[in-house]
Amino acid sequence: MAASPRAFVLRHTRLRAVPGMEGIRLHLADDLLPVWRALQVETDDPEAALPYWAAAWGGGLAISRHLAEHPEIVAGRRVYDLASGSGLCAIAAAQAGAAQVEAVDIDRFAAAAIALNARANGCRVDVTRRDALGDPPPDVNVLLAGDCWYEADLAARVLPWLRAAQAEGIEVLVGDPGRAYLPTDALIELAAYDVRTTSDVEDLAFRTARVYRLAEMATGAP
Ligand SMILES: C[S@@+](CC[C@H](N)C(=O)[O-])C[C@H]1O[C@@H](n2cnc3c(N)ncnc32)[C@H](O)[C@@H]1O
């Protein structure tokens, strides 16, 4: 019988400090591709998604660094971490003093990893597994979107959803290391960080990753 997602995460990762954010420890894979293969076998699904939850990605690393430097962005506020993966941004928000943190990811293995990681860091994070972009924007003050621009289909859905959230008064922070589908015209850079991702599937382990806010939409724009 297939193991639970929680058991799978524990078996295929190692709890270790995040490079550049040593105050956070995550269950991370030493090598992502063998874990991906194991996941395909475990789920009997050759199309299983890459185990994004087993790495700390550039976008999430930039947001986490930014929140550590500027805790006032989230302190005492309700925070939503879209496409949370390992839960890195959610945990950084909790450590920076957020009043409430919800982490959402479409992947059930991510949901298990986020719960384990929050616990390992002594943080309270509410975890939800769903397609966040199918819902209206959540009732929160701050929305974090770390490394969401790596696929065309996802990228096309994220920007309108983030804009809808911003139109409701939610402060949106995007973190990205220069992915192909990043809509730079729609973003305003706030900060840049040299980060080291833990993902061995990246062409560059060391990258500059940036934190952005959404530009205001011009009146009459679609
Ligand atoms: C590259 S990872 C980024 C994880 C984390 N934010 C970070 O920066 O380390 C992208 C994540 O988006 C999740 N995802 C993709 N589509 C989603 C959707 N529609 N709703 C929620 N999560 C989604 C994936 O499962 C994956 O965990």
Closest atom, ligand 1, to C-alpha of 81: 6
2: tokens are 């297939």
Q: What is the pLDDT of residue 182?
A: 97
In 10 A of CB 36, how many CB atoms? 18
Which stretch of DSSP H or E encloses residue 65? helix 58-69
Calculate the CA 45 to chain-centre distance: 24
Give yes or no for residue 131 CB within 6 A of ligand 1. yes
DSSP state of 75: B
Q: In which residue are the tokens 């890195």 written?
A: 88
Does the structure show a pLDDT above 60 at 222? no
Give yes or no for residue 105 CB within 6 A of ligand 1. yes
In 10 A of CB 20, how many CB atoms? 16
User: For ligand 1, atom 18, which residue shows the shortest CA distance?
Assistant: 131
Closest atom, ligand 1, to C-alpha of 59: 8
Does the structure show a pLDDT above 80 at 20? yes
Which stretch of DSSP H or E encloses residue 17? strand 14-18
| pTM: predicted TM-score of the whole model, two decimal places | 0.96
Q: How far is the CA of 48 from the centre of ligand 1 (A)?
A: 14
